[in-house]
C-alpha cells in the first residue's frame, strides 16, 4: 500500500534527495568512497558545500552583505546564538508557540527580554497582530511558522528594528524578501534535509557590535570566516540539502513551491471546513499555516477521534496525530509532499464522513 507521509519533522523529502543521497553513501562523486568517509576538505566535498551555499542564495534571492551558514546544533542552539551575537541590552520577542517561547527563554541569559505579545492564553491558535516593538530593542524575534499549532506569519514584517526569524518549518515554502531580515535560521529536517544541519542566513554588518566575549564556536564570525568549515560540518545532511536545492530549482524555485503549497493546503482546509465531522483549530483563516494543517473532530463527533485515526492509518496515512499539546490531527504538507497524498487524505475524510 502507498504510504502518505504527513510527519511534522523529520518529514518527507523529495525522492530525488533520498535517491541521490543513497547513491552518494556508496559512491560519492565518482570517488568510489562513501560521502561519509571522505574528508570534508576534499575537493569533492568542498564543491558540495560551495554549491549548496550558492544555490541557497540564488533560490532565496539573498542580497549582497548576507552569508549562508550550515552549522550543527539544531534550531535550538540558535535560540542562544542569536542573543549571544546580537543582544546588547534588550530584545523583543513575539510568543506564538512553544518554540517561540523556548527561543525567548534563552534570550533572558543575555539581557532584557520584552514579550511584545503572546497567544498563549488561546493555546497559540492565532498570531497576535496588535503590538508595538520597542524602538530601542536590538532585534525582534519571530517564529514564522508554528509547527505545533499550524499558524504562520506569511508576510515579511517591518518593525523598525532588526528582524530575526526562526523559519525551521517554512523555509523555501514561499518567496521571502531576505533584505527585510537581519537573520533567519532553522533546522533542516522539514523542507531541506535530514536532521543534523542548521541553516543560518545572517547580515554580516550586524555582527561584532556586542561587548561580551563570545566562545569561538558560538560566534557567527568564526563560521563566516571559515565558510562553515571551522569544524567538521554535518557532511551527509549538507549533501542531502544540496540535492533538495537542485530539486527545488527544477520545480520552479520558491515561487513554484508556493503555488503548489497553496493548492495542497487549500484542498485540505476546504475539506476540513466542509466536512461535518471535522473543524480547524486555527481561529482566523489568514493565520492558517501552509505547512502544518491542524484539525480536530467537531464536538458532536469527539468520540470518533481514535476511530478516524485507525481508519486513516489503514489507508496509508502516516504521521497525522496532532502534537500532544494540541491533540486531534496535524497533516504536514511540506514541499516534498505530493498533491496526490493530500487528495488521498481528503478522500479518506470523505469516506469516513459517509460512514457516520
Question: Is 99 tagged catalytic?
Answer: yes
For 66-96, the DSSP string reads EEEEEESSHHHHHHHHHHHHH-SSEEEEEE-
Residues 68-97 that bind ligand PMP (CB under 6 A): 74-76
Residue numbers 2-41 binding ligand PMP by CB under 6 A: 9
For residue 166, say whether it is annotated as part of any ligand binding site: yes
Residue 99 interacting with ligand PMP (CB under 6 A): yes
Residue 28 vs 194, nearer CB to ligand PMP:
194
Gap between the Cα atoms of 113 and 178, Å rounded: 24
Distance CA 197, CA 53 (A): 13
User: Does residue 75 have a known ligand-binding role?
Assistant: yes
Catalytic, out of 138, 166, 170, 219: 166
Q: Tell whether residue 247 is among the known ligand binding residues.
A: no
CA 355 to each of CA 10, 92, 299: distance values in angstroms, whole numbers, following the listed order = 33, 50, 17
Q: What is the DSSP letter of 33?
A: S
Cα pseudo-dihedral 58, 31, 14, 312, rounded to 10: -160
Give whichever of 281 and 348 is closer to ligand PMP, judged by the CB atom: 281
Q: Which residue has the cell 461535518?
A: 276
Active-site annotation holder among 138, 154, 170, 190: 190
Size of the site for ligand PMP (CB under 6 A): 11
Three-state helix/strand/coil letters over 109-160: CCCEEEEEEECHHHCCCCCCCCCCCCCCCCCEEEECEECCCCEECCCCCCCC
Instruction: Report, in Å, the least distance between residue 148 CB and ligand PMP.
Output: 7
Does the active-site annotation cover 190? yes
Instruction: Supply the minimum distance, in Å, between the C-beta of residue 121 and ligand PMP.
Output: 20
Task: Specify the residue, 269 or 334, whose C-beta has the smaller distance to ligand PMP.
Answer: 334
Interface with ligand PMP (CB under 6 A), residue from 187, 237, 280, 319: 187
Cell of 179: 533584505
Cβ proximity to ligand PMP: between 194 and 348 the closer is 194
To the nearest whole angstrom, how small is the minimum distance from the Cβ of residue 241 to ligand PMP?
A: 14
104 belongs to the binding site for ligand PMP (CB under 6 A)? no
Shortest reach from residue 185's CB to ligand PMP, in Å: 9
Instruction: Give yes or no: 247 in active site.
Output: no
Contacts (CB under 6 A) with ligand PMP, residues 137-166: 143, 147, 166
Which secondary structure element, helix H or strand E, spans residue 8, and what is its range?
A: none
The one among 169, 191, 228, 332 contacting ligand PMP by CB under 6 A = 169
Q: Are 78 and 185 in contact (CB under 8 A)?
A: yes
348 among annotated binding-site residues:
no
Contacts 24+ apart (CB under 8 A), 61-65: 61/175, 61/178, 62/178, 62/201, 63/178, 63/179, 65/203, 65/204, 65/205
Binding-site residues for L-glutamate, please? 41
Binding region for ligand PMP (CB under 6 A): 9, 74-76, 99, 143, 147, 166, 168-169, 187
- Catalytic residues, which ones? 99, 166, 190
List, as residue ranges, the binding site for pyridoxal 5'-phosphate.
75-76, 99, 147, 166, 189, 231-232
Amino acid at each position: 500500500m502507498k504510504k502518505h507521509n504527513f510527519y511534522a519533522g523529520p518529514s518527507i523529502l523529495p525522492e530525488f534527495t533520498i535517491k541521490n543521497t543513497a547513491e552518494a553513501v556508496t559512491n560519492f562523486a565518482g570517488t568510489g568512497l562513501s560521502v561519509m568517509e571522505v574528508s570534508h576538505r576534499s575537493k569533492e566535498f568542498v564543491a558540495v558545500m560551495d554549491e549548496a551555499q550558492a544555490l541557497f542564495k540564488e533560490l532565496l534571492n539573498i542580497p549582497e552583505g548576507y552569508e549562508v551558514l550550515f552549522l550543527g546544533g539544531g534550531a535550538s542552539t540558535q535560540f542562544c546564538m542569536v542573543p549571544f551575537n546580537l543582544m546588547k541590552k534588550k530584545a523583543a520577542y513575539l510568543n506564538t508557540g512553544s518554540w517561540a517561547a523556548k527561543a525567548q527563554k534563552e534570550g533572558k541569559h543575555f539581557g532584557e527580554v520584552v514579550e511584545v505579545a503572546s497567544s498563549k492564553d488561546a493555546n497559540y491558535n492565532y498570531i497576535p497582530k496588535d503590538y508595538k516593538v520597542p524602538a530601542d530593542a536590538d532585534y525582534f524575534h519571530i517564529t514564522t511558522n508554528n509547527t505545533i499549532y499550524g499558524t504562520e506569519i506569511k508576510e515579511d514584517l517591518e518593525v523598525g528594528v532588526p528582524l530575526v526569524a526562526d523559519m525551521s518549518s517554512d523555509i523555501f515554502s514561499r518567496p521571502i524578501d531576505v533584505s527585510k531580515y537581519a537573520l533567519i535560521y532553522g533546522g533542516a529536517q522539514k523542507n531541506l534535509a535530514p536532521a543534523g544541519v542548521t541553516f543560518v542566513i545572517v547580515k554580516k554588518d550586524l555582527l561584532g557590535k556586542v561587548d561580551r566575549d563570545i566562545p569561538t564556536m558560538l560566534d557567527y564570525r568564526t563560521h563566516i570566516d571559515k565558510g562553515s568549515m571551522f569544524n567538521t560540518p554535518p557532511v551527509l545532511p549538507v549533501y542531502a540539502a544540496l540535492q533538495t536545492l537542485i530539486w527545488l530549482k527544477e520545480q520552479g524555485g520558491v515561487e513554484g513551491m508556493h503555488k503548489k503549497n497553496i493548492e495542497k493546503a487549500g484542498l485540505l482546509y476546504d475539506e476540513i471546513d466542509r466536512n461535518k465531522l471535522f473543524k480547524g483549530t486555527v481561529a482566523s483563516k489568514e493565520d492558517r499555516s501552509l505547512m502544518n494543517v491542524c484539525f480536530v473532530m467537531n464536538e458532536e463527533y469527539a468520540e470518533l477521534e481514535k476511530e478516524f485515526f485507525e481508519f486513516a492509518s489503514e489507508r496509508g496515512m502516516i504521521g497525522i496525530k496532532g502534537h500532544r499539546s494540541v491533540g486531534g490531527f496535524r497533516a504536514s504538507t511540506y514541499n516534498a509532499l505530493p498533491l496526490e497524498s493530500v487528495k488521498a487524505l481528503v478522500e479518506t475524510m470523505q469516506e469516513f464522513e459517509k460512514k457516520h
